[in-house]
Amino acid sequence: ISISVFPPSSACIGRYILNMQITSCGHTYQRCLGDFYVLFNPWCADDPVYMDNQAHREEYVLNEHGILYEGVHKHITSRPWHFGQFEDGILDICLKILDMGASYHHGSDRDHCWRNDPVHVSMVVNHMISSHTTNSIMKIPENNDYLKGTKPFSWNGSVPILQQWYNGRCRPVRYGYCGSLASVMCTVMRCLGIPSRVVTNFCFPCSIENPLGINEIFDCTGKNLCGKDKLWRYHCWNESWMARRDLNQCCGDWQCLDPTPLETGRGSACSGPTWVRSIREGELDLDYDGHHMFSRVNSNYVGWLSQNNAKKTKFFCDAWPCGQHLITKSVGSEQFEDITGAYKYELGSVKNKEAYYRAYRRIHPGYCNASNCHIERELSSLKNPFLSDSGINMRLKMANCPMYGEDVQLHWLLENLRSENKNLKFNLCAQIITYSGCPMDQFWKDSVNVTLGPREVKTIPLCISYNQYGPYLCDHNIMKVVAVSDPECGEVLMVSRDIVINRPPVIVKLLSQPRLKVPCTAEISFCNPLQEDMKNCVMTLEGCGLFKEPMTIDLGTLASNQQARTIVEFTPYRLGSHRLLANFGCHKF
Residues with catalytic function: 178, 235, 258
CA dist., res. 563 & res. 484, Å (int): 42
Could you tell me which of 589, 472, 456, 582 has the C-alpha nearest to residue 526? 582
Task: Label residue 74 exposed, middle or buried (CB < 10 Å: 0-12, 13-18, 19+).
Answer: middle
Beta strands in 188-281 (DSSP E): 196-206, 213-218, 224-225, 230-242, 253-263, 268-275
Q: Is 228 helix (H, G, I), strand (E, B) or coil?
A: coil
Q: Which residues pair with 495 in a beta bridge?
A: 483
Angle at 238 (CA atoms; ends 235, 241), nearest 5 degrees: 150
Q: What angle do CA 510, 514, 517 make, to 5 degrees?
A: 135
Task: List own/partner pairs for 547-551 with CB under 8 A and 24 or more apart.
Answer: 548/573, 549/160, 550/156, 550/160
Reduce the DSSP state of residue 31 to 3 states and report it. Answer: strand
Rounded-to-integer distance, Cα 9 and Cα 45, Å: 9
Kindly compute the dihedral angle of the four CA atoms of residues 303, 306, 310, 311, in this order, to the nearest 10 degrees: -60
> SS3 for 328-393, per residue?
EECCCCCCEEECHHHHCCCCCCHHHHHHHHHHHHHHCHHHCCCCHHHHHHHHHHHCCCCHHHHCEE
Spatial contact of 357 and 372, defined as CB atoms under 8 Å apart: yes
Q: Specify the DSSP element, H or E, that contains 90.
A: helix 90-100
Strands 392-398 and 336-338: unpaired
- The helix or strand, by DSSP H or E, that contains position 327, with its residue range, turns out to be strand 325-329
- Tell me how crowded residue 354 is: count the other CB atoms within 10 A of its CB: 14
Q: In 139-215, where does DSSP find H-type helix?
A: 159-167, 178-191
The alpha-helical segments, DSSP class H, found in 478-572 are none
Residue 485 φ/ψ, nearest 5 degrees? -75, 150
Please state whether the peptide bond connecting residue 234 to the residue before it is cis, i.e. omega within 30 degrees of 0: no
Q: Determine the residue type at 314.
A: K
Rounded CA-CA distance 231/3 in Å is 57
